[in-house]
Amino acid sequence: EIVLTQSPATLSVFPGERATLSCRASRIVGTNLAWYQQKPGQGPRLLIYAASARATGIPDRFSGSGSGTEFTLTISSLQSEDFAVYYCQQYNNWPSLTFGGGTEVEIK
């Protein structure tokens, strides 16, 4: 099983600042990696797929990068609605998949 490790577990950021979230895979997954946003009481929302492509309707302040085993999600200027938990997910062996443990982005 491919294990995804996200860091940090919690990220405290002022509104308007940049947030950088990391996801490391235990084995190479190419660019078969997605990022999701989850708010309390809601299902996850797909932000990024193929490591760097934004899903429909996702603002361009969200960007993804990386390949192989190291990936990054960057939120360029945090808005109030961006405070949430973010998960990475690998689908290199689709339809089998695994999720990272999540990073909570909180207001500083």
Q: In this complex, which beta carbon is closest to other proteins, that of residue 83 or of residue 99?
A: 99
Q: Which residue's CB is nearer to other proteins, number 42 or number 80?
A: 42
Q: How far is the CB of 99 from other proteins (least distance, A)?
A: 4
Contact footprint for other proteins (CB under 8 A): 1, 32, 34, 36, 41-46, 49-50, 55-56, 87, 89, 91, 94-102
Q: CA angle, 59 as apex, 12 and 28 as ends, to 5°? A: 70
Please, what sign has the CA dihedral across residues 59, 60, 61, 64?
positive
Q: Measured at the alpha carbon of residue 107, what is the angle toward residues 102 and 108, in degrees to the nearest 5? A: 115
